[in-house]
C-alpha cells in the first residue's frame, strides 16, 4: 500500500458484512478457547490471533493489517496511531509504549495463571475471590492500554472468557454483542477510578 494514502477511519460495525461475519467468527473463537486449558491460557495471554480472526474480514480494503496488530507496530496506519476516549485521558497509552505495556500485561497474565493452576481446583470463597480480582484487573488494564485501533472490547472480553473457561466457569459476558452500556461502561469507569468492588461483585455473582 503506498505510504501517501490517508489512513481510513475504521469502525468494524459500519462494514456491510458485520452482522453475518461477526457471529460466525465468535463461534469459531469460542470453540478455540474452549478446546483445552492450554488453548484458553494462550488466548488470555495473547489476543492478537483472536483479534485477527474476528476482524480480518471487517477491515477497509488494503488495510487488513489493522486486524491482529497493535498500535505502534511498523505499519503505516498503526506506527503513530494515538487513540483515546472522551472524558478519560487514562485510556489509550502512546503508540510507542503499547508493545512494552502489552508484554508486561501478557507476562503478568501468564505468571498468574501458572500460580493459580498450582492451587487448583478453586474450591474456597477466597480462591474464587482471588480469581475474580485477577480477571477484573486484567480486563480493565487491557482496556486502559487500548492496544488495537478498534475491537479492544472484543479482545478484552475474550481474555475474560478465556480465564473463566480455563477454570471451569461460564463467561460473564459474550465476546459479541457488546454488553449494555448502562451497566458495562459504569462498572469499568468505576474500577478505573479506584472503586473496584462493583465490577468484582458483578463478576463474582455471575460465577458463583
Euclidean distance between CA atoms 143 and 164, whole angstroms: 18
**Average pLDDT, integer, range 150-170:** 96
What's the pTM?
0.94
Domain membership flag for residue 7: no
Domain count, the chain: 1
| CA–CA distances in Å: residue 14 to residues 2, 18, 58, 60 | 24, 7, 9, 10
Residue 6: band (very low, low, confident or very high) from pLDDT cuts 50, 70, 90: confident
The C-alpha atoms of residue 125 and residue 208 are separated, in whole angstroms, by 9
Neighbours of 44 (CB within 10 A): 26
| CATH (domain of 92) | 1.10.3290.10
Q: Is residue 5 part of a domain?
A: no
Classify residue 1: in a domain, yes or no.
Answer: no
**Is 198 part of any domain?**
yes
Q: Is residue 4 part of a domain?
A: no
Give the residue numbers spanning the domain of 130: 12-207
The reply to whether 3 falls in a domain is: no
174, 154 Cβ separation under 8 angstroms: no
What are 22-32's pLDDT values in tens digits? Answer: 999 999 999 99
Question: What does the alpha-carbon distance between residue 15 and residue 150 come to, in Å, rounded to a whole number?
Answer: 13
Residue 144 lies in a domain: yes
Which residues, 6+ apart, have CB-to-CB distance to 79 below 8 Å? 72, 73, 95
The answer, yes or no, to whether residue 3 has pLDDT greater than 70, is no
Residue 115 within any structural domain of the chain: yes
Confidence (pLDDT) at 2:
39
Please provide residue 182's backbone torsions phi and psi, each rounded to the nearest 5 degrees. Answer: -60, -30
Amino acid at each position: 500500500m503506498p505510504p501517501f494514502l490517508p489512513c481510513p477511519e475504521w469502525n468494524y460495525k459500519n462494514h456491510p458484512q458485520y452482522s453475518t461475519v461477526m457471529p460466525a467468527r465468535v463461534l469459531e473463537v469460542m470453540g478455540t478457547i474452549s478446546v483445552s486449558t492450554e488453548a484458553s491460557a494462550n488466548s488470555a495471554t495473547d489476543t492478537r490471533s483472536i483479534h485477527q480472526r474476528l476482524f480480518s474480514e471487517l477491515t477497509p480494503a488494503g488495510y487488513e493489517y489493522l486486524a491482529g496488530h497493535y498500535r505502534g507496530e511498523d505499519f503505516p496506519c498503526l506506527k503513530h496511531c494515538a487513540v483515546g476516549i472522551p472524558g478519560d485521558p487514562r485510556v489509550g497509552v502512546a503508540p510507542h509504549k503499547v508493545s512494552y505495556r502489552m508484554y508486561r500485561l501478557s507476562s503478568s497474565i501468564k505468571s498468574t495463571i501458572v500460580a493459580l493452576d498450582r492451587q487448583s481446583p478453586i474450591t474456597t470463597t477466597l480462591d474464587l475471590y482471588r480469581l475474580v480480582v485477577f480477571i477484573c484487573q486484567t480486563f480493565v488494564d487491557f482496556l486502559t492500554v487500548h492496544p488495537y485501533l478498534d475491537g479492544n472490547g472484543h479482545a478484552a472480553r475474550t481474555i475474560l472468557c478465556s480465564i473463566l473457561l480455563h477454570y471451569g466457569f461460564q463467561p460473564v459476558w459474550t465476546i459479541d454483542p457488546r454488553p449494555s452500556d448502562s451497566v458495562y461502561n459504569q462498572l469499568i469507569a468505576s474500577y478505573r477510578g479506584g472503586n473496584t468492588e462493583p465490577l468484582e461483585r458483578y463478576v463474582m455473582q455471575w460465577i458463583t
